[in-house]
Amino acid sequence: MSTTNDLTQQAKNDFLDRNRDLLALTTNGPNDVFKRISAALALDSEAQDDVMMYAPLVDQPNYAGQVAREDFSREIYKAICKSFLEIQRNLVVTFAAKLTPEALEQLEDIEISAGARPPRPIVPPPPAPPTAAEQLEAEVRRDWVHLRSSEVKRKCNNAGYRAMFDKLMATGQLESFCTSLHDGAAEFRQ
């Protein structure tokens, strides 16, 4: 059972560390809060059963033991979070000041870990900024629509701009809006 004691102590330390901003705002402090969490856990037979289901398996060697230790740690942390929410709802734990944004986020994390709140949606990373070639292509397309032929011709004096213009013109991507003919294509190929 020393392995379960070690894992329980690690879960306690993890809870105290992850939620230090939230616990610092409690009226009695983190140590008192955890004593109250422990008392609530002692009274919650369902949480005990959920956690102790893994206890006989944590001392197994190799991969099976590793999985059992991870499961035990996850369940004990979840039980700690549930107990914290229970004692908070029962006003056993109160806060001395308004919760800071960090403390609110930690409270939300506790609710998520306890299963009282759905996980945060995964936000996809922002799209990569366009490359120089993509920016140049967008500029040529925009110029073709919004600038006069003489202004586009002046910009074609730049070799890179001219190459992109020729490429888009050759693939038929710069067609006229009025007809299916290319506007001034012969003028720009000189």
Asked whether residue 98 is assigned to any structural domain, the reply reads: yes
- CB contact at 8 A, 39 and 64: no
Asked whether residue 119 is assigned to any structural domain, the reply reads: no
Would you give the end-to-end CA distance of the chain in angstroms?
A: 87
Same domain, 7 and 70: yes
**Residue that is last in its domain, among 84, 114, 144:** 114
**What are the residues whose beta carbons fall under 8 Å from the beta carbon of 12, sequence distance 6 or more?**
34, 80
- What's the domain count of the chain? 2
- pTM as predicted: 0.64
**Helix-helix angle 30-43:2-18, to 10 degrees:** 130
- CB contact at 8 A, 100 and 21: yes
Share above pLDDT 90 across residues of the chain, in percent, rounded to a whole number: 48
Asked whether residue 156 is assigned to any structural domain, the reply reads: yes
Q: Which domain holds residue 177?
A: 132-188
The tens digit of pLDDT for each residue in 11-34 reads: 999 999 999 999 999 998 888 999
Asked whether residue 75 is assigned to any structural domain, the reply reads: yes
C-alpha 47/C-alpha 42 separation (Å) is: 9
pLDDT recorded at residue 18: 94
- What backbone torsions phi and psi does residue 176 show, to the nearest 5 degrees? -70, 150
pLDDT recorded at residue 10: 94
pLDDT recorded at residue 28: 85
Q: In the chain, what is the greatest distance between 2 CA atoms, to the nearest angstrom? A: 89
Same domain, 31 and 68: yes
**Residue that is last in its domain, among 60, 85, 114:** 114
